[in-house]
Structure 1
Amino acid sequence: MRTSPLTPPPLAVEPMTRAILFEGLFVHGLPRNERFEAEMREAGFDRDDLLPQYPLKLFRQCLDIACKHFYPGLTVEEGRRRLGQQFVQGFGQTVLGRVVSVSVPLLGPARFLKKFPEHLRFDSSPIVVNAVQVSERQFRMEFRTGVGLSPYFLCGLLEEALRMARVTPVIRVAPTSPISFDLHITW
């Protein structure tokens, strides 16, 4: 069976993600909260004892726990969008994040979005991202994941990153299947 460049590879093992994703959001992006941290430890993540990588499904579970504790009055979609924004702020406090944060304003929005798929490659999860420039100030980011990523978390992440590139984006989520989606971005 042939696959297109936008088809994620088949899942042979449980998809994993590196600790930097957890560190950016759950260590630096969110305030300390005893009840939240206890529930996170019970799920399998201890912010005071980082492992090199974690199952991607644990990240999704931790997003749900964070939404419940920090955004109980919002929809899941809006809570995840805000967590995406907080991830960018927290990621900027990591060593790698400081380097990336300095480069985003220099790149500008179009070049940043063209490079964004490369930023997701530090991961061992089966995520395929294609950046399509539709016009000078419009992109379509095609996410073919195979693992059920949160489009709203990524929407918030890209909103915050594009603000660092000195633009105010409007991002619309367009599902293409139960596990894949497009983000339509204009500024």
Structure 2
Amino acid sequence: MVKIAVIIGSTRAARFADKPADWLRGIVSQRSDADYEFVDLRDFPLPFFDEVASNAYAPSQNEVAVRWQHKVAEFDGYIFLTAEYNHAPTAVLKNALDYAYPEWNKKPAAFVGYGSVGAARAIEQLRQIAVELQMAPTRTGVHIQGADFFGAWQQGAALEDMAHLQPGVQAMLDELNWWARALKTAREA
């Protein structure tokens, strides 16, 4: 069975990320195609990248960075849960991506975004970053946007009640798991 990390890409005290993380936790708990683990960047307080080079070229010196790299290496694929700040992913998520390199290689990446446009612009940037990290970004992403986002954030609407999001999240998970199995087989060969 493949192991998938759901990386919570915001560390703000007042973050919205916990709502879609809880929603996604409920969905993946009903699936038997992978082992899902939620990885919170709050548990990895990485400083802004300050190593001599990427760990592709030189071992990291920061102990949190090394712990982060070991955690990332455990997985066969990733779901990045991201907000969009000023048309970009969160700085803490970009920093966490930069602190690892070989650990990401030849593994799939999927995306769940939230915000006024469902973090569409942030996810597009994350797809480009994933390619540079030798990851395989999946086609289908989940975008919690507009009325859905504002309803859940400000009006107490439950993501679980938004049935129109289900087909997208199921398709994303199906694609991610297919790629995770295929790439795991290829890495092991």
**TM-score interval for Structure 1 and Structure 2 normalised by the shorter chain:** under 0.3
TM-score computed with the length of structure 2 as normaliser? 0.27
TM-score computed with the length of structure 1 as normaliser? 0.27
